[in-house]
Amino acid sequence: MSSRNIQVEPMRRLAVEDQAVEIVERKGVGHPDSICDGVAEHVSEALAREYLDRVGTVLHYNTDETQLIAGSTAPAFGGGEVTTPIRLLIVGRATREYDGTTIPTETIALKAAREYLGTQIPELDFGSDIVVDVELGEGSGDLREVFGESGRQIPMANDTSFGVGHAPLTETERIVRSTERRLNTEYASDHPEVGTDIKVMGKREGDRIDVTVAAAMIDAHLEDMAAYRTSVREMREYVHELARELTDRSVTVHVNTADDYEEGAIYLTTTGTSAEQGDDGSVGRGNRANGLITPNRSMSMEATSGKNPVNHIGKIYNLLSTEIADRVVTEVDGIREIRIRLLSQIGQPIDHPHVADGAVVTESDVSLDEIEADITAIIDEELANITALTERVIAGELATF
Amino acid sequence: MSSRNIQVEPMRRLAVEDQAVEIVERKGVGHPDSICDGVAEHVSEALAREYLDRVGTVLHYNTDETQLIAGSTAPAFGGGEVTTPIRLLIVGRATREYDGTTIPTETIALKAAREYLGTQIPELDFGSDIVVDVELGEGSGDLREVFGESGRQIPMANDTSFGVGHAPLTETERIVRSTERRLNTEYASDHPEVGTDIKVMGKREGDRIDVTVAAAMIDAHLEDMAAYRTSVREMREYVHELARELTDRSVTVHVNTADDYEEGAIYLTTTGTSAEQGDDGSVGRGNRANGLITPNRSMSMEATSGKNPVNHIGKIYNLLSTEIADRVVTEVDGIREIRIRLLSQIGQPIDHPHVADGAVVTESDVSLDEIEADITAIIDEELANITALTERVIAGELATF
Amino acid sequence: MSSRNIQVEPMRRLAVEDQAVEIVERKGVGHPDSICDGVAEHVSEALAREYLDRVGTVLHYNTDETQLIAGSTAPAFGGGEVTTPIRLLIVGRATREYDGTTIPTETIALKAAREYLGTQIPELDFGSDIVVDVELGEGSGDLREVFGESGRQIPMANDTSFGVGHAPLTETERIVRSTERRLNTEYASDHPEVGTDIKVMGKREGDRIDVTVAAAMIDAHLEDMAAYRTSVREMREYVHELARELTDRSVTVHVNTADDYEEGAIYLTTTGTSAEQGDDGSVGRGNRANGLITPNRSMSMEATSGKNPVNHIGKIYNLLSTEIADRVVTEVDGIREIRIRLLSQIGQPIDHPHVADGAVVTESDVSLDEIEADITAIIDEELANITALTERVIAGELATF
Amino acid sequence: MSSRNIQVEPMRRLAVEDQAVEIVERKGVGHPDSICDGVAEHVSEALAREYLDRVGTVLHYNTDETQLIAGSTAPAFGGGEVTTPIRLLIVGRATREYDGTTIPTETIALKAAREYLGTQIPELDFGSDIVVDVELGEGSGDLREVFGESGRQIPMANDTSFGVGHAPLTETERIVRSTERRLNTEYASDHPEVGTDIKVMGKREGDRIDVTVAAAMIDAHLEDMAAYRTSVREMREYVHELARELTDRSVTVHVNTADDYEEGAIYLTTTGTSAEQGDDGSVGRGNRANGLITPNRSMSMEATSGKNPVNHIGKIYNLLSTEIADRVVTEVDGIREIRIRLLSQIGQPIDHPHVADGAVVTESDVSLDEIEADITAIIDEELANITALTERVIAGELATF
């Protein structure tokens, strides 16, 4: 048995799926906060890869303070225009000099941001609809040294912090997540009028689920109000269909409920994101590491996106606890819900958290004793293998928001 | 009885005070995230007051995207210096024109920021240690109209969002909050070497409470390493004393545990905040509306600081739910813990939430039936009186972080 | 005869061509000051055209405060890289609203800058080697009204200012100008190693002309020091040849004289402009409207580039006086040198300057009396036709630096 | 006799005082361009002094790219307000590290700017009426080494450049300069309604001198239009009186001629500078080193303010040539006008210019032969003593604009 401080205990509350009221939210990839998360994380991956290429080790950096300042537009059926550009400022720290090698951190960041935006938010014309700048300082002396050691060693935690993960997702959570994901991929490929800024709110009271979608519609692909109304109706039907695949509960779908057709007050945009019209954004203000905002569940305030995946313990533990929870419910039967919490101690190896704590709601016919050892073993194994997670983050294999 | 949708139900879990593991955190007033929260909220109050003075109603604004870009310093016993200034950028939206009156929003914001920093973080020489700039755009047309109506009416919710509050605080929570508050006031007045950036982490396992304090020490008031060590030791004793007033559990206090005296690697600063050395900050990334980060409790992701207190429902409901929870435990006996959640519906009057939901852990000898009516009545009354909360926020009477 | 106050008089000094010492300078298109001039002027043209398209008249704007903040690079034979991007900030004023029409001034400016840089300084990767942002405020109320009148009328001078032009160019001036122009076009097309930042200084003492060229060489097209030296030598020969086409005086050419081959201190760059390595720039600090800096001649301090060509009198009079001087020496025989000065009076029609003043050095066998009427007639005609100049500026037909 | 290449020759033109038309301009200390000049030069002096204090030698820096972005105000008799702050961005290069010592260049710059503005433009409330930020990069490697040598040696010229100076000033020049200087000191002390942004244009045709003053009036000190008109009238009388002390020619004075009392269009400001209302500014766009813009005279385009006074040859030679010209006309009789030009050669000692060239208009009864030796001796002596000029610049004893 390992030397790790792993505790598994019963949850002593109802599984979220069984609670009376549940609230879930997801901000889509084009939401101003998500744009910041996405750019920050993409920049982070690019920096990590360049550091590995150039000096063989990931140097200190964090790019998690990216800030978006909204622009303004004049939307119009058939195609409006951007009247004031959106500004995106990538803020953070990154080591520029190592052993005689200069790493062009700001250039790397700008290229990564341009690439990300070009792929994910292609409606924004880079350099005119959105201006991206970067200000990467250098960290304090202490921080710069952290990674001076050989990459083989287990890094030390940079802070006293914690991460938390849950599994499985509830029906409402899966509906909310799928709604945004599928609208922004499958559905959008046939419906170019759907912007990337899709915000989905799920509320369940008992067995009634309300799904509320706020979707920024793109003016160039809508010729008039009738087309807009048709598009909203089709989206509602699509989401309803989608939800019914995921639940037997009763589902009601609302799309752009704040619209007032009489007044002509509708959610029409030129670029498909509310960033064009006064909605600012920043990293870490939106979705948690599992892609959702879940007030029924324990959450960490840590911004996961943009953080260094080598020793930033808040990032690593949030991602790892989610991975562990997923793996436990996949491999161990009889679990209705599990929550994994990992608490670090500053300066200690990250594979030895201060405490790794699993709280479990078992199925009614299962006792925790029967499965505790299996759960503990998985937690232990995942912690032993913690640096693999860093590699997957650098490779861009893990979503952070 | 009111027409409000108020639900009170049992919590079906252990009170946080009775759970096996509890984690609590508070970022002190000089933490980079808190500096942003504080400035954003102070700017918000100033704008609201000026709007009332000049046009008789609070116009649309939000200043909750304030961003801090860290500087650098060369700390030295006896007094170091700032080598690169901290930048603070106040970002948001605020209406500049109303009925022929121009409101100098940016000037108001700058003055409010200067005033706040001068009072709260006086070690920062305004304009050279910290450069404050502001970029307040104007919101979209729709948003600008929201407050065009008479101030008498109940505003409509600007979003589908929710707020959550808890009461009473646990012992660990009270210790964490008091530690930061008293170090930054009572203790600091006798110990000028204590900076404003005090981060407190509390961890309770069963009946053992660990309090970990990371306090930025100010070099000008410490002549050498011996003085530093003495100051750390005294702080530890002070916090220990303080904690014992608040609990009978066993308490261990750690102060600046990452220090390495041999290496001379200590938490010495010139300005008393880690913002001077590479730690960036932004609004809404730190403490929740009740001043704490509490992963054991349901939390909202909403940034409370800097939001318009008239119709920004995330702000209002977070503050109000906390107020309600506090009042319930003060006035109603037999409650071990209560959580209040308020869920809004966009476009509906804010005094009629979609659902107001109280979840209660009663004392073992009390049944919820006995007290449910009292709880419901308080919730109803507070909702009816919701605009009073807006006034208190504008008057600066409510803490938001 | 017209009512204009036109005075023609003898110059009472030697023609510059006959003076003992002459100094002339030209900053090439890739010099940081010229980059600012070029972007500012291209933005100006784009704004003027958009105003005409959208509202039928050119509204108030000036974009002549564009500022370049240098980056840093790590040049290396075979190809280096940009380590800190260059920043270009387009600053100025431009009217955004007119009669219910919104003109997206900042978007127009960004697109024009991107286009200009892509064409003229293609080595700079837009958005990563150079970050372009824009801050166009709105002018004061008075200024905004200036163009409220019909476009047919002659605009009123916006200031008390003057312009000055000279003709013909001296041999040294022609050599300096041709050197930069031909190196940056004809020669560069065969020599990709020659950057756009070519600064040429000409000095004539009596009949000896020294041409000093400082040319930023591009590392990607030079494999080693030998290649660099060869390229410098070839350039020197090319310039020498070119100069001999333009003069019979003795010519010495120096290229990159500050190089120290022993020390490896050479003018090697990654992007072909010194903006990459610490040389900032701004509008109006470099070449005058005739493309040269000519301390032997009367010069105006006015920044010509970026100014509104409708009523900015400094711009108009500098360009027009140069045009007049050119036309006079083309059409009137017997002139060794002419200087035209146009002095405006604020608030008066721009075709009626306070004084239009021609100072002439005639050929030794010609008296001013013989040609004065011809000169006066040309000045008068050009002033009568002044609005044609505005149109040519908007069409991009006139160089401003 | 020295080894310097000094040439003295006749001018072969009329002295400016004797030419038919003369134009002269001066932008007052509160003009946006002058604000930039003043801040840049004050920052330069502060940096030089700090370098000397900390490392014993002046390291490489240039702060001559300072840029002002205008704000907006709502002026009103009795006192208006700033509605958008003015932004001042100090841009340049300055060495931050030398031999293990960190020099806090940005902090030094910010403090110097604050001090200068507080003294010279006290109407601007620092941090709310005007926001000052700084961006000082580091120069390229070569430049950084320039001053690595002992301070005793004569520095080498950093560029091929030239400076030019003239003496004596003409009557018109003296009137223009005195008008601004005395309005901004003696007169303003009794007339608080006079702002610092006073632009003076002098035009002489034969023996008629027109002095045109555009003075920004401060609203807080003017209760109504009558007071404004009285103030304008008094200023006109004061300037007329002043001019008559300096000339026997006929003088006409115009003050704020663009005012239209009927329309209420007057030059009323809140802060006394047009920077408050849309007029941007930058270094080197206004007055030349002698405080004037003099199209009748040879001028250098070099920005003198903000440049390093140790090896920036453009700055040194402009200041020195003016000093030499002044000294020559003071000490040598019989000179009606002298122009001194100093042309550098990059990489050569600055006390040995490529050519030092004096052009002289003698009094009618004096031949150049009689005084040439005296002139040459003064030029030679001043060049030999060139480093004394650097010290005077650092001490703030020489005006640069």
- Domains, in order of start, for chain B: 16-28+171-282 (3.30.300.340)
Q: Give pLDDT, residue D150.
A: 44
Distance CA C214, CA B78 (A): 50
- DSSP character string of A78-115: T--EEEE-EEEEEEEEE--EETTEE--HHHHHHHHHHH
Of the pLDDT bands very low, low, confident and very high (cuts 50, 70, 90), residue D139 is low
Looking at residue B140, what is its pLDDT?
53
pLDDT on residue D168:
97
Shortest distance between the Cα of B99 and any Cα of chain D, in A, equals 15
Q: What's the confidence (pLDDT) of residue B138?
A: 81
Parallel/antiparallel/unpaired status of strands D194-205 and D21-27? antiparallel
- Which H/E stretch holds residue C253? strand C250-255
CA distance to partner chain C, nearest, from residue D349 (Å): 13
pLDDT at B141: 47
Beta strand segments in A143-236, E: 162-167, 194-205, 208-218
Kindly state the percentage of chain D with pLDDT values over 70: 96
Question: Which pLDDT value is given to residue A139?
Answer: 63
pTM of this structure: 0.88
- Residues whose CB falls within 8 Å of the CB of residue C181, separated by 6 or more in sequence, listed in order: none
- Give residue D142's pLDDT band: very low, low, confident or very high (50, 70, 90): very low
D79 touches chain B (CB under 8 A): no
Mutation for testing the C interface, residue in D282, D312, D317 having most C CBs under 10 Å: D282
Query: Of C110, C115, C138, which to mutate for an interface test with A (greatest number of A Cβ within 10 Å)?
Result: C110
Which pLDDT belongs to residue A1?
52
Cβ distance of D83 and B74 shorter than 8 Å = no
From CA C73, how far away is CA D379, in angstroms rounded?
42
Q: What subunits make at least 3 CB pairs under 8 angstroms with D?
A: B, C
The larger pLDDT score, comparing residue C311 to residue C393, is at: C393
C235: CB partners within 8 A, 6+ apart: C183, C187, C191, C194, C213, C215, C255
Partner A, chain B 98-157, Cβ-Cβ below 8 Å: 135, 137-140, 142-143
Residues B228-285 have pLDDT tens digits of 999 999 999 999 999 999 999 999 999 998 899 998 899 999 999 999 988 899 999 9
What per-residue confidence (pLDDT) applies to C153? 75
Regions of chain A where pLDDT drops below 50 = 141-151
Taking CB atoms and an 8 Å cutoff, what residues of chain B touch A23? Answer: 162, 341, 343
pLDDT, position B191: 97
Q: In the block, which residue shows the tokens 């599928």?
A: A182
d(CA B297, CA D40): 54
ipTM of this predicted structure: 0.88
pLDDT above 60 (res C145): no
Confidence of residue C142 (pLDDT cuts 50, 70, 90): very low
Mean pLDDT of chain C: 92
Averaged pLDDT, C126-140: 89
Sort out which chain D residues have CB atoms less than 8 A from B106's CB and list them. 83-85
* Res. C147: pLDDT tops 50: no
> What is the per-residue pLDDT for D322?
97
Subunits next to A (3 or more Cβ pairs <8 Å) are: B, C
Which residues of C fall within a CB distance of 8 Å from A110? 85, 127-128, 131
As a whole number of angstroms, the distance between CA D327 and CA D383 comes to 13
Compute the mean pLDDT over every residue in chain D, rounded to the nearest whole number: 92
Better-scored residue on pLDDT, D338 or D13:
D338
Residue B324 has pLDDT above 60, yes or no: yes
**Token pair for A52:** 């590995």
- The pLDDT score that the predictor gives to residue A362 is 96
Predicted local distance difference test score (pLDDT) of residue A144: 41
Looking at residue B143, its pLDDT comes to: 45
Q: What percent of chain C has pLDDT over 70?
A: 96
- Probe site for chain B from A5, A59, A83, A160 (most B CB atoms < 10 A): A160
Distances (CA, A) of A307 to A284, A311, A313, A318, A382: 10, 9, 9, 12, 21
pLDDT of residue C139: 62
For residue B170, pLDDT over 50 is answered with: yes
Q: Which residue of B has its CA nearest to A304?
A: B285
* Range of weakest confidence among A180-194, B27-41, B151-165, D16-30: B151-165
Mean pLDDT, residues D322-338 taken together: 97
Mean pLDDT of C153-171: 90
Q: Which residues from chain B sit within 8 angstroms of residue D81, using beta carbons?
A: 104, 107
Q: Which has the minimum average pLDDT: A145-154, B82-91, B171-180, D189-198?
A: A145-154
What is the distance in angstroms between the Cα of D89 and the nearest Cα belonging to chain B? 11
Bridge partners of C252, per DSSP, are C210
pLDDT band, residue D138 (cuts 50/70/90) = confident
pLDDT at A217: 98
Of C104, C131, C132, the CB nearest to A83: C104
- What percent of chain D clears pLDDT 90, i.e. is strictly above it? 82
Question: How far is C334 from chain D, CA to nearest CA, in Å?
Answer: 20
The model's pLDDT over C278-318, given as tens digits with 9 standing for 90+, comes to 889 999 999 999 999 998 898 888 889 999 999 899 999 99
CB C304 within 8 A of CB C284: yes
Half-sphere exposure of A73 (CA within 13 A, CB side): 29
* Mean pLDDT score across all residues of chain B: 92
Q: What are B254's two structure tokens? A: 């750690």
User: Nearest CA to CA, how far is B82 from chain D (Å)?
Assistant: 7
Structure token digits, residue C264: 């490896």
Q: Which two tokens stand for residue B186?
A: 């009572």
Given a cut of 50, whether residue B370 has pLDDT beyond it is yes
Which pLDDT belongs to residue A140?
Answer: 53
DSSP state of C183: I
Selected residues 356-375 of chain A with any CB under 8 Å from a CB in chain B: 357
Q: Does any CB of chain A come closer than 8 Å to the CB of residue B295? A: yes
